[in-house]
Amino acid sequence: MSVSRMIYLALAIWGAIHPMYYFVQWFQENGWDIMAMVDAWHANAASSGLVWDLTIAVIALTFWIIVEVATRRNLGALIAIPATFCIGVSCGLPLYLFLRSAPVR
């Protein structure tokens, strides 16, 4: 495995674990109410800006993955879409780069 693939994989794992630590901590302190978390994301203009920044990034990444999968016929790379929506761009993007950089058979 190339160095770049190992880095992508490490970033995908880090991007899955690190943000989840904070999400779980928040849920434990405030209850397991997803709508309360969404409200917290919009607590001020700065956090709302970050939410919209990430929302646009998720849409762009999803579109890119779909176009690339249609072109390259690498259906396994579609797993990066639910990873992006369920975990975040910090996991989905490096996971897709890891999958995309696999040697061509």
Amino acid in the structure at residue 98: F
Per-residue tokens: 52: 């919209």
Mean pLDDT score, 39-64: 96
Residue 105 has pLDDT above 90, yes or no: no
Half-sphere exposure of 91 (CA within 13 A, CB side): 18
Mean pLDDT score, 4-11: 97
CB–CB of 93/16 below 8 Å?
no
Amino acid in the structure at residue 27: F
CB–CB of 93/84 below 8 Å?
yes
Domain limits of the chain?
A: 3-100
Q: Which residues contact 22 (CB under 8 A, 6 or more apart)?
A: none
The predicted-structure confidence for 70-96, as pLDDT tens digits, reads as follows 999 999 999 999 999 999 999 999 999
